[in-house]
Amino acid sequence: MLSKREEQVVRCLVEGRTNSAIARELKISENTVKNYLYRIFNKLGVSQ
């Protein structure tokens, strides 16, 4: 199950936004976006 913040990150990703655009929109650092994506991919069993 994804957290609300993880869902926000996924929604932005699906809309085609870059990590930097996601960071600006959610007012977090780009590094934090990358950390969220890492956790999301692990939770969903997605390999990179």
- Confidence at residue 47, expressed as pLDDT on a 0 to 100 scale: 84
pTM score of the predicted model: 0.90
**What average pLDDT does range 23-35 have in this prediction?**
99
Quote the CA–CA distance of 26 and 36 in Å, as a whole number: 12
Quote the CA–CA distance of 37 and 29 in Å, as a whole number: 13
Quote the CA–CA distance of 35 and 29 in Å, as a whole number: 10
- Confidence at residue 7, expressed as pLDDT on a 0 to 100 scale: 98
**What average pLDDT does range 22-34 have in this prediction?**
99
- Confidence at residue 1, expressed as pLDDT on a 0 to 100 scale: 92
Asked whether 22 and 9 are in contact (CB, 8 A), the reply is yes
pLDDT at residue 48 tops 80: no
Domain covering 4-44, topology = Arc Repressor Mutant, subunit A (1.10.10)
**What average pLDDT does range 22-47 have in this prediction?**
97
